[in-house]
């Protein structure tokens, strides 16, 4: 079992955004891993209708560091 995949970059949301905090806290409490999208999206993003808010910069795994510091027992996949 896992919580995810969280596709924050597709919505233009930083994975460290406070609005995602309840999901990460619950997953930590239940000791289940979180799957979160990192890296690139579909070709042509954000210029196609599927994901106008997608930003490659928000898929940078380094953005997860503050989250991992706040939740040291958090498991990500």
pLDDT tens figures, 8-34: 999 999 999 999 999 988 998 999 999
Share of the chain above pLDDT 90, in %: 55
pLDDT given for residue 34 in this prediction: 93
Q: DSSP for the chain, please give it.
A: --EEEE-GGGGT--TT-GGGHHHHHHHHHHT--EEE--S--STTTTSSTT-TT--GGGG-GGGGHHHHHH-TT--B-
Mean pLDDT of the chain: 89
Domain boundaries of the chain, sorted by first residue: 3-29+37-62
pTM of the model: 0.83
pLDDT given for residue 19 in this prediction: 94
- 32 with 3: CB under 8 angstroms? yes
Position 74 pLDDT exceeds 80: no
Mean pLDDT, to the nearest integer, of 42-70?
Answer: 89
């Amino acid at each position: 079992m896992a919580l995810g995949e969280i596709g924050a970059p597709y919505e233009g949301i930083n994975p460290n955004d406070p609005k995602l905090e309840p999901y990460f806290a619950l997953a930590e409490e239940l000791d289940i891993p979180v799957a979160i999208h990192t890296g690139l999206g579909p070709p042509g993003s954000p210029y196609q209708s599927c994901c106008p808010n997608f930003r490659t910069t928000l898929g940078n795994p380094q953005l997860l560091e503050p989250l991992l510091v706040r939740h040291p027992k958090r498991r990500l996949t």
